[in-house]
Amino acid sequence: MKIKNVFLLLFVLSLFIPACYSQKIEQPKLVVGIVIDQMRFDYLYRFNQFYGNDGFKKLMNEGSNFTFTHFNYELTSTGPGHASIYTGTTPFYHGIIGNDFYDRVLRKSVYCVKDPDVKSVGSDDEVGMMSPKRLLSTTITDQLKLATNGRSKVISIAIKDRSAVLPGGHFPNGAYWYDEKTGDFVTSTYYTNELPKWVSDFNKRKLADLYLSQAWELSLPESDYQINPPDENKYENDVFKEGKTSFPHSFKNLTSSERYEKLRATPFGNQLLAEFVKSALVNENLGRGDETDFLAISFSSTDIMGHEYGTYAYEIMDTYIKLDQQIAELLNELDKQVGKGNYILFLTADHAALETPAYLRDKKIPTGGLNTKAFSDSIKAFAYNKYGSKDLIENISNKQIFLNREVIIKNNLDIHKVEQSLADYMRNTFPEMTSIFTRDYLETQVASRDQNNFLLNGFNPSLSGDIAFDLRSGYLPNFQERGTTHGTTYNYDTHVPLIFYGWHIPVQTVNTPVYITDIAATIANLLKITEPSASIGIPILK
């Protein structure tokens, strides 16, 4: 009788154990990454009273809001930012050291995603000649595809090409960006030889032309915008050739060749992107398969407007009020297509921005500019006087100095002594400079997750120059009278929003320091897949 019971137990276990092993790990249907170009962290709160309940506030109130998220390297700009978010590492490892940067082998400046070996798809010009070939690490989107043997679908979309190419990784199902000459979305032969039918159909709708026929009006009564300087002021550019900088704005004074480009500098650029994203969500059946899919989105118009208008402008405030509504519409579409609670969404920025420099100056806040040409002339003159060669310095860009190795060898110079003498001259001559590091020092260190050395984390041993330097807070390579920019190690450039929302995301507000490089590791941990190859981030959701 006992033996019979043992056999019965073994029989039951034989049925149960395979079922246990065959259970699929629980995962969300879709991951959505939203990067808002040049979004300062304080925009979440500065404009909070003007937001609705279904956009930014919904994410903040129902997700995990990390209020002290920073970048940990220089140069804080679009290409490195998107690469760092999706690789979980810094330029030290992923190789995107700037939007444009000097290539010592080619001896010329190169664009971070330009690829002369591919062709445009959907356009007759060079706007589509892009690929991720300069990206040296895998991305979280790559890792998802690897984990599922390519069964997961990855779609990456942006107005800017680099903001679509880099998040998509090395083998997405599609990456699409805006053609500022035609108003269409395009791609390259790196991804496909012809546009999918749904993309062609979307382009035929000519939504860009529809938006160009409209005026940019304020969303709210003008009195609500008076938390900013006056609408008509000297700190903004006349983007639309209207003879003024105040609302309303229209495209009627622009030439036909200018209009599609300037569309990007309005909330209509974000709206066009949002409509394209909705079409991709439906037509690519994202979040409806057996594996987790990934939709990477980058709203680029916010950056273009920031450069033109600065941080304290009616235009910036109105853009974020409208973007709040656009995000609310996207969340509603995701709930409808994928199901509420079936997707993870994260929202962050690729960098922030300095408060409008001329405005700071007029408020007696320390700010200024190095004057790139004057610096270049001075350092070259020093090199000539000391070493007798006009060609010793090969290139100066992105606050880096590239030495001409051939000239140094030809003149029997010690490159280590040359580096140090130039660094000493810079220290003694330019009080605007803070950190100055030579390659000799930087090559003895490795990048880290923290902010111990911003220049080191942004330095790539194979691609960067021989001397790297930074400037005082509030200082730029060249001072700007209108608009603003970014690219430094300071809080105004590094402090960005980070919110996780959706599937298995706890409701919490966290103010402990985290870094932009933690996003990819966190998503990998939630999906139970390997993090990107060069990732140095850690999971920040428990």
- pLDDT for position 353: 98
What is the DSSP annotation of 2-65? HHHHHHHHHHHHHHHHHHHHTPPPP--SEEEEEEETT--TTHHHHTGGGS-TTTHHHHHHHSEE
Contact 265, 304 (CB under 8 A): yes
Q: Is 512 helix (H, G, I), strand (E, B) or coil?
A: coil
Q: Is the pLDDT of residue 175 over 60?
A: yes
Give the model confidence (pLDDT) of 311-360 as tens digits: 999 999 999 999 999 999 999 999 999 999 999 999 999 999 999 999 99
Identify whether 356 is a catalytic site residue. no
Q: Is the pLDDT of residue 64 over 90?
A: yes
Q: What is the pTM of this model?
A: 0.94
- pLDDT for position 1: 44
Q: Is the pLDDT of residue 17 over 90?
A: no
Give the model confidence (pLDDT) of 330-339 as tens digits: 999 999 999 9
State the pLDDT confidence band at 24, using cuts at 50, 70 and 90.
confident
Which amino acid makes up residue 51? Y
- pLDDT for position 394: 97
Mean pLDDT of the 269-277 span:
98
- pLDDT for position 542: 83
Q: Is the pLDDT of residue 8 over 60?
A: no
Higher local confidence (pLDDT), 6 or 316: 316
- pLDDT for position 7: 47
Q: Which residues of 447-465 are buried (b: 16+ CB within 10 A; e: fewer)?
A: bbbeeebbbbbbbbeebbb
Give the model confidence (pLDDT) of 507-518 as tens digits: 999 999 999 999
Q: What CA–CA distance (Å, rounded) separates 183 from 207?
A: 8
State the pLDDT confidence band at 19, using cuts at 50, 70 and 90.
very low
What is the DSSP annotation of 413-480? --HHHHHHHHHHHHHHH-TTEEEEEEHHHHTT----SSSS-HHHHT--TTTS-SEEEEE-TTEESS--
Mean pLDDT of the 104-128 span:
96
Q: Is the pLDDT of residue 87 over 90?
A: yes
- pLDDT for position 15: 46
Q: Is the pLDDT of residue 23 over 90?
A: no
- pLDDT for position 513: 97
Q: Among the options 69, 76, 78, 319, which is catalytic?
A: 78
Q: Is the pLDDT of residue 21 over 60?
A: no
Mean pLDDT of the 249-268 span:
97
Mean pLDDT for the chain?
Answer: 95
Q: Is the pLDDT of residue 69 over 70?
A: yes
- pLDDT for position 25: 85
State the pLDDT confidence band at 5, using cuts at 50, 70 and 90.
low
Which amino acid makes up residue 525? N
Nearest of 159, 157, 187, 182 to residue 259 by alpha carbon: 182
- pLDDT for position 20: 46
Those residues whose C-beta lies under 8 Å from the C-beta of residue 235, and which sit 6 or more positions away, are 229, 309, 310, 312, 313, 356, 358, 359, 481, 482, 483
Q: Is the pLDDT of residue 426 over 70?
A: yes
Q: Is the pLDDT of residue 102 over 70?
A: yes
Mean pLDDT of the 388-392 span:
93
By CB neighbour count within 10 A (0-12 exposed, 13-18 middle, 19+ buried), where does 194 fall?
A: exposed
